[in-house]
Amino acid sequence: MRDLPAAVAGYGALRRAPVRRRPAPGKVLPSLEAAIAACGLTDGATVSFHHHLRNGDAVLNAVMDALARAGLRGLHVAATSIFPVHAPLVGHIRSGVVGRISAAYISGPVAEAVSRGALAEPVVLRTHGGRARALDLGEVRVDAAFVAAPAADAMGNLSGRAGRAPCGTLGYPMVDVETARHVVAVTDSLVPYPAVPAEIPQTKVDFVVEVARIGDPSGIASGATRPATDPLGLGIAGQAAAVIAASGLLTEGFSFQTGAGGVSLATAAAVGREMAARGVTGSFASGGITGFHVEMLEAGLFRALMDVQCFDLAAVASLGRNPGHMAMSAATYAGPHVGGAVVDRLSAVVLGAAEVDTDFNVNVTTRADGTIIGGSGGHADTAQGARLTVVTTRLTAAGHAKIVPRVGTLTTPGETIDVVVTEAGIAVNPLRPELADRLRHAGLPLVSIEALAAKAAAAAERPAPAAPEGRIVAISEYRDGTVTDVIRAIGEAAP
């Protein structure tokens, strides 16, 4: 080393050290057990997961099994969504390995077990944006984020577009890898450096574990559907599209989100035809992206797709091919804390509902008997952000009325719902008289929400079940962390 002064005015002491070459460290560990040890996880730790592999995911179960074998107890599972495939989690709840759960969406056996009181502590259901907020602001501290990666290299570059089970964007764990104390990538395709193209860069990943399989590709595509073709669904979709067409918002730069359900996609198709007829080019479509959205991009109906999750392989392929098809993180998508998220730029969103009440409140969390069947996901985020929020629903399902005096669980506040479209007419929120005027002028069949509720009650074959009165088993949080509702246990609580 050179002979230098010990300190320099205006700089301070000069740190000196011998220089050594820096071979790149290896991040690959031989097993999930080794990764758990490397993360230093202890009882009560928070472990996070994402749901891009949807009902094909094998990573959450494999990691939870390894955590159980490691003897850990009372863990907090902070997932983005939990699906029927995650049924083994019920066993880990009963054995005490899992003590807490938070998620944006829970369906299947885990949801049923929670509804029956399997967990002593209430589940926290957040919106997608609310979960990103809770992580970014430190309200939830993740000790280890487990990222299911369709392909990874030894340095931790993670690709969603290569490997045996490509899922495209990794928008949800983008939030986790920024804030978790440790990040473990789990892959079944450990590829030569560098993984191409990388969704998450190596700087965000601490460890890489190769497993036999991260999931079932057929389950991964379970979010995808095609537009509805049944007359009732097509009718509702056509009316929803007519609402958008008459709203005054279907002009140059129009932006749009729908779910991936059949009625939503049929609505999008009808809106697309109207855009083409008017010569309108939209700015973006957002959310979970399907091949159907890709067709709209490629037809020039939108300039961009803002993609937090690919729902099918056509979307995965487009992401690599089309610069206008852009991945985004859950925070960018829906975070209420980021100074304006993508959802806050939406012209219109079309959403579903398990129930809607006469205050326009929407329930997508519980079914008629009170059992948990989902949660907001992006429902409440987009409803608040969009200038026009349209809920499409049939009057009844499984014999129960879907337009009701009071929703079983308030997931999305009625203040953020503008229009409810059913096969029996269209109800406009009284908070939006100017919108009602526009729709009326367009000749659309407006009715009051009370009239729809009355028709639904008349059409229902089964009475509304009594509201559950058990202890509180889940909390429904809004985007900003305020509470919209509590969910109570059904039937007998588990011991």
Residue closer to a second copy by CB (options 328, 354) is 328
Residue closer to a second copy by CB (options 196, 451) is 196
Q: Report if residue 138 touches a second copy, rule: CB under 8 A.
A: no
Q: What is the length of the chain?
A: 495
Please identify, among the stretches 47-55, 104-112, 272-280, 301-309, the one whose residues bind a second copy according to the rule CB under 8 A: 301-309
CB of residue 115 vs a second copy: minimum separation in angstroms?
A: 16
Q: Report if residue 206 touches a second copy, rule: CB under 8 A.
A: yes
Rule CB under 8 A: choose which of 19, 212, 277, 466 binds a second copy: 19
Per-residue binding string, a second copy, 148-167, x by CB under 8 A, is -------xx----x------
Q: Provide the pairing of β-strand 472-477 with 483-488.
A: antiparallel
Rule CB under 8 A: choose which of 34, 120, 276, 313 binds a second copy: 120
Nearest to 147 by CA among 72, 97, 98, 207: 207
Q: Which residues 175-194 are close enough to bind a second copy by CB under 8 A? A: 192-194
Q: Which residues 329-368 are close enough to bind a second copy by CB under 8 A? A: 329, 331-332, 335-336, 338-342, 344-345
Please identify, among the stretches 2-10, 65-73, 141-149, 421-429, the one whose residues bind a second copy according to the rule CB under 8 A: 2-10
Half-sphere exposure of 143 (CA within 13 A, CB side): 16
Strand pairing partners for 100? Answer: 76
Q: How far apart are CA 270 and CA 289, in angstroms?
A: 17
CB of residue 67 vs a second copy: minimum separation in angstroms?
A: 21
CB of residue 482 vs a second copy: minimum separation in angstroms?
A: 5
Classify residue 22 by burial, with Cβ atoms within 10 Å: 0-12, 13-18, 19+. exposed
Q: Report if residue 482 touches a second copy, rule: CB under 8 A.
A: yes
Q: Report if residue 277 touches a second copy, rule: CB under 8 A.
A: no
Q: How far apart are CA 420 and CA 416, in angstroms?
A: 12
Please identify, among the stretches 24-32, 80-88, 214-222, 461-469, the one whose residues bind a second copy according to the rule CB under 8 A: 24-32
Q: Report if residue 122 touches a second copy, rule: CB under 8 A.
A: yes
Rule CB under 8 A: choose which of 164, 299, 399, 415 binds a second copy: 415
Strand pairing partners for 310? Answer: 289
Residue closer to a second copy by CB (options 184, 266) is 184
Q: Which residues 236-275 are close enough to bind a second copy by CB under 8 A? A: 253, 255
Q: Report if residue 469 touches a second copy, rule: CB under 8 A.
A: no
Rule CB under 8 A: choose which of 47, 328, 356, 362 binds a second copy: 328
Please identify, among the stretches 65-73, 143-151, 231-239, 315-323, the one whose residues bind a second copy according to the rule CB under 8 A: 315-323
Residue closer to a second copy by CB (options 462, 471) is 471
CB of residue 191 vs a second copy: minimum separation in angstroms?
A: 10
Rule CB under 8 A: choose which of 81, 187, 365, 484 binds a second copy: 484
Nearest to 289 by CA among 304, 300, 279: 304
CB of residue 205 vs a second copy: minimum separation in angstroms?
A: 8
Rule CB under 8 A: choose which of 2, 30, 231, 469 binds a second copy: 2
Rule CB under 8 A: choose which of 4, 212, 277, 466 binds a second copy: 4
For residue 119, how far is the Cα from the chain centroid? 23
Q: Report if residue 21 touches a second copy, rule: CB under 8 A.
A: yes
Nearest to 147 by CA among 126, 167, 176, 125: 176
Q: Report if residue 279 touches a second copy, rule: CB under 8 A.
A: no
CB of residue 9 vs a second copy: minimum separation in angstroms?
A: 8
Rule CB under 8 A: choose which of 87, 459, 475, 494 binds a second copy: 475
Q: Report if residue 483 touches a second copy, rule: CB under 8 A.
A: yes
Q: Report if residue 384 touches a second copy, rule: CB under 8 A.
A: yes
Residue closer to a second copy by CB (options 57, 206) is 206
